[in-house]
Structure 1
Amino acid sequence: MSVHNSGHVQSATDALLARREAVVSRGVPLISRFAVERGVGALLYDLEGRELIDLSSGIGVMNGGHSDPAVLAAISAQAAKLQHVCMHVATYEPYVALCERLVALLPHGPGTKAMLVNSGAEAVENAVKIARQTTGRSGILCLTGGYHGRTLLCMTLTSKVSYKHGCGPFAPEVYRVDCPDALRDGGYTDPEGFAARELAKLRGAFKTRVAASDLAAILLEPVLGEGGFVPLPAAYLRGLRELCDEHGILLIFDEVQSGFCRTGAWAAHQVHGVVPDLSTYAKAMGGGLPIAAVVGSGRVMDAVQPGTIGGTFGGNPIACAAALATIERLSAQDLCARARVLGERMQARLRGLMARHPEVVDVRGLGAMVAMELCEDGDLGRPAGGLVKEILAGCHARGALVISAGTYGNVIRLLPPLVITDEVLERGLDALAASVEEVLA
């Protein structure tokens, strides 16, 4: 602690936040006023030593938990051998070994191949470049509500205006159609009919927005992330696969947030048995280190000219070692199965809140990617972003780190580390429930 001239004792957290404000751009967003020093499993500890229950996993990164000893050991061992060389300059084993692991876990047909970069946005950018070179076309079709990153192209692909206001002009040849909204358009009562109607809308876009023959790819998240944890219907994804095959369009799934056991499988598309031409990964793949991947069919991945994809730091040896160790730990602990159990438990608790409060209009998710949507007085046309802010503040005051999502900020999303114990999860959900009851009383 430090003491100001006024005699006020300033906490270590307040001091660090003041230093942040002095030197870090205000454009870097801040969700909470926690200042975290260390983490173990599903628990974080702030600068005052207070325990926090992590229900966000650093926005879906720490699926295997904080400070896994095997991951830390792999990082240390690799750092002692080789820190960097660049895959463009010389070949090194961790990059190749990680690609071997990825193509085994995430097959995209015969001869599946992969390439590595640093972030989800880079993975999406490279997937688009691959699709354009493969097809000789330039158009990319994406969904309203989608989030794909903060580079210029990915901002263009991203729907939410607050993430890109004032950053244009944006990239050309990007087109958007509405995301299927089961809550508002009858998807829960008639899933097959709903999917058919949504696919018909998409086909209509080929007449009013962009010709199918001009599209290189349709790019989407199988479960919307920032858009509010909206799982796309299996029938819709199957229909997209057929539509893409019909028109020679590549299908790209952005699995940056939904991948690596989060949805109960290594990738959300595996839950539905729909294989894309390309898919992108990041977040949980590296166990906390920055690394990302594009995985795709060999035909597509080898259609690109050398030098048009990649980058200096992509597939850094230390990050590759962390990713390999993370994959082994996720597999050894069967965290795909654990995600399904956690998802059922979280949805059951949230549905209990929905039964008591009309403001809670939906509970949804896939695996341990679970959300609760709130609207004023249960009116679907009045998103309750203000109520969500109050609820999150209550969670934080009770020592649970919970974050929001959705175009209007009216969705509470739960992304706990998949290693969270039942007891810690229940304590976190108790904090959320108490905050909901307090705000909605």
Structure 2
Amino acid sequence: MTHHFDLVVRAARAVVDGVEQPATIGIHSGVIAAISLGGDTTGWTATSSVDLAADEVLLPGMVDSHVHVNEPGRTDWEGFTTATRAALRGGTTTIIDMPLNSLPPTTTLEGLQIKRASAAPQAFVDVGFWGGAVPGNLEELEKLDTAGVFGFKCFLVDSGVPEFPPLSREELRTYLARCAELDALLIVHAEDAAALDSAPPAAGPKYADFVASRPDESEVTAIESVIAAMRETGGRAHILHLSSAKALPAIRAAKAAGLPLTVETCPHYLTFTAETIRDGSTAHKCCPPIRSDANRTQLWDALADGTIDLVVSDHSPCTVHLKQLQSGDFGQAWGGVASVQLALSAVWTEARSRGFALTDVVRWMSTAPADLVGLTDKGRIAVGAAADLIAFAPDHHHLIDAATLEHKNKLTAYQDLTLDGDARRVWLRGRQVTILDDPHGTLLTKGS
């Protein structure tokens, strides 16, 4: 029987079904139509074919469900052209955009429509959108859900921008109950306002003082509040950017009890440690903060045992002047790490040093984020999945220079680090794409 494909990709190493193994992939109309693991491609013909180099591994494109693009309104911080080019260059083929720090925020149907109109002509990768849950927009949730957002983000502390205020504990329960009625996911920036108010304020260039201003207890208390609200409402919740390992016991207990709780962490929490961050290095400021080396080890252990489900970038850029580089004042600097282009390499570099494999990284950074948002045709090399693929060179070493990154503002916490891995070629729905091409990304909606 003859099978004709638009493209056939042959790889001596590919991550398929959670195993690194030889594979030949047949692609038709942007979808993986056939996979041969044994090398038998009798009857296969193709319009074009590609053989990966001996030092390359075929991976599914990464899925990053935590990216702040900031356009429109704060496009000088980042925009869809630069953010999606950076994602593409780093091996990420799908991003889900956060509902802040754009103006307007994605807290209304009108705000979503404005955001989609901005993104549509600029997307170099596929783009979906989170909605926002803020005081006063409870009636907007159903409209946003119907329009296809992938869930709703809330803060339990000041977000840093006035147009996206936090929910109180009572509002958290109310909004989670509404999400349960809609079968929608609530994703939570989990720091507790009272715990932060009782901590010493952040001021000056000492990194230790900044960490003290956002203690572990703020995360633990907030996550316990989310778990309590889940028990009361039956809602599904996801903890964003987990930093503190002290919250792991509560998370493990909630999962053991069968609560539908998921958790992410980020490359910067897995790469850096508080002990090695220089005073005044505000490129490393993020909230919650990067903590100790012992804390980092516990986060890696929690990834290994499944307590933490996924790793995403939390790409949160700003203009260089907002980082207060001259004063190095952590109290005044904007918090966020620009990293969507470097996320895969950063995680792979540290993961391999700890004995993890590419199969683990694919699970954390591709399959699990896709599953979180219900994109079951993304994040895997499988028949019926979108042919979003990368030829990844895991042994390629590169010295990071912010000036060469696609991010709009040339500042990164990874400056002068040597990272492993390079996404040499990227296919989006079976089409090989580069940052020099016209944008070929599509806008995604929940259930699409």
Q: TM-score, normalised by structure 1?
A: 0.26
Q: TM-score, normalised by structure 2?
A: 0.26
- Compare the two structures and name the one with the higher helix fraction: 1
